[in-house]
């Protein structure tokens, strides 16, 4: 046992080094059939939308670059293959990281500003750039689906879209929906809270009550879940704005939010960070 101990310690150290080198090594891609041709893939980063049918494979977003092979294996296990079409809801790396891999064999489609933002990203491969862009809304016909790409201006960023699979009655909201959590508004890249809320309320007034909703982050949802998240977002925004106006400290406001909305700051955006976003939005 004494002889084995150094070996075991060495193996443990090597495992820790490998884990540190690849933080995505343990990530598993979990598929869920949503409705019709549409699936949701969960892993690390933004949720992936997936349609498999007679025209081939289409995906909405593709997480981080390190997960491209795992995403493809999950697609193949469901009967699909390399995506013919990749639809990006916006430009952030946890939604477009595998674009360069899938863009070598498929066509990437996104809002004009997604291409602009990715072009300005140092070292981003050309194979990952959208080659079909639009300035407002667009429609894709694939796998007997009518897919509406709905531009959501000045919301999460300045280049967001929701992707509505009308035949299957599923909508992917991208990062205009963090299910049960405070949202991330990227003020430095054209986002705004008021634009974000206006965009989602416009979508809510358009989609049917029984639609299934794929959030950018969080578990599969309903229209009621989206409505509830928007209610909390609007309420907390008004609360933070009023308290900032009255001169309360950001730390005190964050503590109050954690009490008023337990669990809503448990994700990527803590209560403290949400307060900072509201403050940055007011000062832009």
Q: What is the mean pLDDT of residues 73-92?
A: 98
Q: Is the pLDDT of residue 7 over 50?
A: no
Is there a domain that residue 2 lies in? no
Is there a domain that residue 124 lies in? yes
CATH of the domain at 163: 3.60.15.10
What domain range includes position 30? 26-231
Is there a domain that residue 19 lies in? no
The 3-state DSSP class for residue 261 equals coil
Q: Residue 119's pLDDT is what?
A: 97
Beta bridge partners of 270: none
Q: Going by C-beta distance under 8 Å and a sequence separation of 6 or more, which residues neighbour residue 14?
A: none
Report the residue count for the chain.
284
Sign of CA dihedral 55, 57, 60, 65: negative
Q: What is the mean pLDDT of residues 128-150?
A: 98
Q: What is the mean pLDDT of residues 144-160?
A: 98
- Model pLDDT for residues 202-241, shown as the tens digit of each residue: 999 999 999 999 999 999 999 999 999 999 999 999 999 9
Q: Going by C-beta distance under 8 Å and a sequence separation of 6 or more, which residues neighbour residue 278?
A: 193, 237, 240, 241, 244
Is there a domain that residue 281 lies in? no
Q: Going by C-beta distance under 8 Å and a sequence separation of 6 or more, which residues neighbour residue 32?
A: 39, 40, 41, 42, 220
Kindly tell me the burial class for residue 258, based on how many C-beta atoms sit within 10 Å of its own C-beta (0-12, 13-18, 19 or more). middle
Q: Residue 20's pLDDT is what?
A: 53
Token pair recorded at residue 85: 């079409």
Q: Residue 43's pLDDT is what?
A: 98
CA distance 112 to 126: 15
What pTM was computed for the model?
0.92
Is there a domain that residue 161 lies in? yes
Pairing of strands 212-214, 170-172: parallel
Is there a domain that residue 5 lies in? no
Is there a domain that residue 187 lies in? yes
C-beta atoms surrounding 55 within 10 Å = 15
Q: What is the mean pLDDT of residues 102-114?
A: 98
Q: Residue 62's pLDDT is what?
A: 98
Is there a domain that residue 17 lies in? no
Total count of domains within the chain: 1
**Greater model confidence, 13 or 219:** 219
Beta bridge partners of 35: 38
Return mean pLDDT, the chain. 94
Rounded to the nearest 5°, which phi and psi values hold at 125? -65, 145
- The helix (H) or strand (E) run that includes residue 85 is strand 85-87
CA distance 196 to 185: 8
Task: Label residue 284 by pLDDT band (50, 70, 90).
Answer: confident
């Amino acid at each position: 046992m004494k002889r084995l101990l150094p070996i075991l310690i060495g193996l443990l150290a090597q495992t820790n080094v490998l884990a540190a080198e690849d933080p995505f090594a343990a990530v598993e891609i979990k598929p869920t059939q949503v409705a019709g041709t549409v699936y949701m893939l969960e892993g690390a980063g933004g949720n992936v939308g997936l349609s498999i049918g007679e025209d081939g494979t289409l995906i909405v977003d593709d997480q981080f670059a390190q997960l491209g092979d795992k995403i493809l294996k999950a697609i193949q296990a469901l009967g699909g293959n390399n995506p013919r079409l990749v639809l990006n809801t916006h430009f952030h790396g946890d939604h477009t990281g595998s674009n360069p891999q899938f863009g070598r064999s498929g066509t990437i489609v996104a809002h004009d500003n997604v291409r602009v933002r990715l072009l300005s990203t140092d070292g981003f491969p050309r194979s990952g750039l959208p080659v079909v862009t639009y300035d407002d809304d667009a429609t894709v016909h694939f796998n007997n689906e009518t897919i509406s790409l709905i531009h959501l201006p000045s919301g999460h960023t300045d280049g967001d879209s929701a992707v509505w699979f009308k035949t299957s009655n599923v909508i992917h909201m991208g990062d205009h929906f963090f299910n049960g959590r405070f949202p991330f508004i990227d003020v430095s890249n054209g986002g705004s809270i008021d634009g974000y809320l206006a965009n989602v309320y416009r979508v809510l007034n358009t989609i049917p009550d029984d639609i299934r909703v794929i959030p950018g982050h969080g578990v599969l949802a309903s229209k009621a879940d989206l409505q509830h998240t928007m209610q909390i977002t609007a309420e907390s925004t008004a609360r933070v704005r009023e308290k900032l106006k009255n001169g309360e400290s950001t730390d005190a406001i964050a503590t109050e939010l954690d009490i008023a909305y337990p669990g809503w700051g448990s994700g990527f955006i803590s209560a403290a960070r949400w307060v900072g976003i509201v403050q940055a939005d007011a000062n832009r």
